[in-house]
Chains A and B, each alone.
Chain A
């Protein structure tokens, strides 16, 4: 038994591996195969339309650190967090170790020694190698034993888990036999290898171990190289595409995820061919890790509808790869595929695109019925560990169906028709835009001598003014604003829909007309600040109107009222509420206030200031909130009785034991009131807007008198 003299801790590189330089010979084809695998995907993305996603590098780097390196989103699922983080960091560490070896062996820089050798190259690498092994076991356990529905079960995935496990295991075997045979005095720093060494030492002779070591080492290398070469042809490609996808993610929040259309130039309104998507949309497809979290959180999917964001992505991915030759033809026609090709593509590109199959096909995940059951709640995008943008793709497809084919559900048609002729989506309403304010003596901008005296415009919204249920909400908000002495005015008859329902249903054209009209009206009065009662209006002003020249400081009423409370202008300051509420309240986050715009705190703070009791929370809240079922035009559709999102959500909220469901959105109020009434049984449960609750806490002078007709 030979031994290394005591002294500086290190080990012999390529011990017991003759002809190890052959590695470099094998590395060339390996990398070539891998590179081809990557390239054949990258070139397909380039068939997509241009979009700017390499700007704002600082922010992108931040996101990269947060969600790639720190696995920020992966870790939201604790099981996956544990094994996936292990695999990722393990891979990074092992890759670093390999690099260290290369530096020492090929660059002849002696870094693999001393404390660095002991702590990093031995101990750390060993532990993370173990982590990888455990990770594979956990992934395997989940895949073969617990089998959650959200996963996609393929042979490829099985082989990948096994392969990584075997690579890791053979690495330890080699290490163990090396330690045992060389009697490595630093062997203890590699605890896993050390255990293998101890076990082998007692069972085998040195020569057997040396023989096995050489064979296994080459086997280990063959598997590793094979893995590298094969990975880009499997879902392991996500090792590259997911970080790239996160780096090029939409940085502006879900509320700003829909692209404007250039109606002058667009050859097709919306998307029905792969080439209508942007290159980032196509990259999204290859970035998918098939984790299934999007579909698991999807409210439509939860209640049994066919919509599945995961399957939309996977179906499109398959479509992209099955039509690679045709896509590449469009690329050739598309000005030799120069990145950022002009959107006014030459005629040849259109001809080539015509040979592509449609994206929207009945009976597939992109069936119109599925596409028109999306509530645009963005839960899928929030759940995606790699920032895939499912929602814009769904809306792109809707745009095609609505604008090019005019084929969409009847309820949505009625809303659109009403928006076209009456600028609100509620046909048959018996109210006008100012009925709710009767007797309050509110200023109407158009009637004011000096409209700039109004510091704030209270944007009431169609859902507030025209829907019976919500008139008391906007009335409460107006009363509170008055009480706080806010100089505000309403637009009255000049207000029209912000266009949110039109945009989400897919009628971008109508949305643009409404948006432009509203911006013109607001700018005419020199509007600077807006308070909205509806998160959908809020989202339009905040994220969508700036591109039409509408730059306003916009607040949701919960935010503005909370500011007034904090400033002591309402309730005489936070701690001096005259009459605190004894209700048991659970708050439901509206998608367009919460997930789309990140406001979770203000409504809760406002409620906490008005309550005597402790507020309840449900599991699906905040970032993970479950939609009321009313977004994306779904408000206007009659869902099948056994597939109602609002009832599902009502059940979740009722489980909290609350007697009051607090909401901050007129759509949520109507949907959840229906849902709660259907599911509450004998309980007395009411659905109330935050403004109504605050007014109740502050004491409503008019409480005894009914709202004037």
Chain B
């Protein structure tokens, strides 16, 4: 079974909120002192892929569209025991739209060969647009399923479980498919063994330019789908009223009197 996992490197979503600053000019977040990390759902996708590989057999390839910095995320994927990695070096817009990314990934996947299963994270922790997966499925003409949290492979048939608003659904598909992975308790990304971290530097990580995969910067200019026209940090003008009172009972009384009307109106 050949599995390809597309991963995205993003600005650390756990950076302290007070450190978060935006550049009004470029309409992007300032890197500042924050780190770049692999998007968590992409790591869930890697973990899902590796578990399938370990249960059956085959090969897992990690693919990313990014800069030289992105190599770190791919190395980490290799340390998680992904077999090989490919990095398409980004040209032009530093925040390409979802369609541009989907086109790049589709071209890269065509270049890399045939895959039985393509996994992606359900959305990214930076822009969180969540469109790339669906668009890539269209580009590749593959059936897809979103919010998948576990996959079993049996004789070419994939059984996927996914989360819905009210519970779960199970779907089966034969032949190549694309799944957008969400987290569950079974796909918590593994901590790489140090031995594997050391080995990851000896595993193949190929870098491609857009030209290598048959695209030009104009093909994927990155703002023909949508364009960010404003990015700002909202200033919350909510003033929290701290409940006052001489005793805790009194405070609770005040709190209850504030809550009670809403409760009465909605019961």
Contacts and interface: CB of A to CB of B under 8 A. Distances in A.
Direct contact, A vs B (beta carbon within 8 Å): yes
Interface of A: 263, 269, 402-406, 413, 416-417, 421-423, 427-433, 435, 493, 507-510, 709
Interface stretch (B13-21, B154-162, B171-179, B242-250): B13-21
Interface stretch (B191-199, B233-241, B257-265): B191-199
B18 A432 contact: yes
A619 to B, nearest CB: 38
Contacts of B14: 422, 427-428
Nearest to A429: B16
Given A422-B12, A427-B14, A429-B16, A269 B33 contact: no
11 contacts: A403-B194, A404-B194, A404-B195, A421-B12, A421-B37, A422-B12, A428-B14, A429-B16, A430-B18, A509-B198, A709-B18
Given A432-B18, A509-B198, A405 B33 contact: no
Nearest to A431: B16
Contacts of B193: 403-406
B190 interface: yes
A507 B194 contact: yes
A318 B191 CA distance: 33
B70 to A, nearest CB: 14
Contacts of A421: 12, 35, 37
A417 B191 contact: yes
B77 to A, nearest CB: 14
A509 B194 contact: yes
A429 B18 CA distance: 11
Interface hub of B16, B37, B190 (most chain A Cβ within 10 A): B16
| 8 smallest beta-carbon distances between A and B, as pairs | A403-B194, A493-B33, A509-B194, A406-B193, A406-B191, A430-B16, A421-B37, A432-B19
A508 B195 CA distance: 12
Contact of A432 (B33, B191, B197): B33
Nearest to A270: B194
Contacts of B37: 421
A406 B192 contact: yes
Interface in B1-45: 12, 14, 16-19, 33, 35, 37
Contacts of A427: 14
A507 to B, nearest CB: 7
B18 A403 contact: no
B54 to A, nearest CB: 14
Given A404-B195, A421-B12, A429-B16, 15 more contacts: A403-B194, A404-B193, A406-B191, A413-B191, A416-B191, A422-B12, A422-B14, A428-B14, A430-B18, A432-B18, A432-B19, A433-B33, A508-B194, A509-B194, A509-B197
A432 to B, nearest CB: 5
Contacts of A405: 193
Interface of B: 12, 14, 16-19, 33, 35, 37, 190-195, 197-198
B18 A263 contact: no
Contacts of B194: 269, 402-404, 406, 507-510
A651 B88 CA distance: 59
Contacts of B18: 430-432, 435, 709
Nearest to A413: B191
A434 B191 CA distance: 30
B16 A269 contact: no
A396 to B, nearest CB: 14
A270 B14 CA distance: 32
A430 B17 contact: yes
Contacts of B192: 406
Contacts of A413: 191
A176 B138 CA distance: 106
Contacts of B198: 263, 509
Given A422-B12, A432-B18, A403 B195 contact: yes
Nearest to A434: B33
A343 to B, nearest CB: 17
A431 B14 CA distance: 11
Interface hub of B33, B37, B190, B192 (most chain A Cβ within 10 A): B33
A486 to B, nearest CB: 26
Nearest to A261: B194
A429 B34 CA distance: 13
Contacts of B197: 509
B48 to A, nearest CB: 18
A429 B190 CA distance: 22
A432 B16 contact: yes
A406 B12 contact: no
A433 B191 CA distance: 26
A493 B16 CA distance: 13
A269 B190 CA distance: 19
A428 to B, nearest CB: 6
Nearest to B76: A420
A423 B36 CA distance: 12
A427 B19 CA distance: 15
Nearest to B198: A263
A417 B43 CA distance: 13
B239 to A, nearest CB: 16
A473 B197 CA distance: 37
B184 to A, nearest CB: 15
Contacts of A263: 198
Given A421-B35, A421-B37, A406 B190 contact: yes
Contacts of A422: 12, 14, 35
A269 B194 CA distance: 8
A257 B101 CA distance: 52
Contacts of B12: 421-422
Contacts of A430: 16-18
Nearest to A402: B194
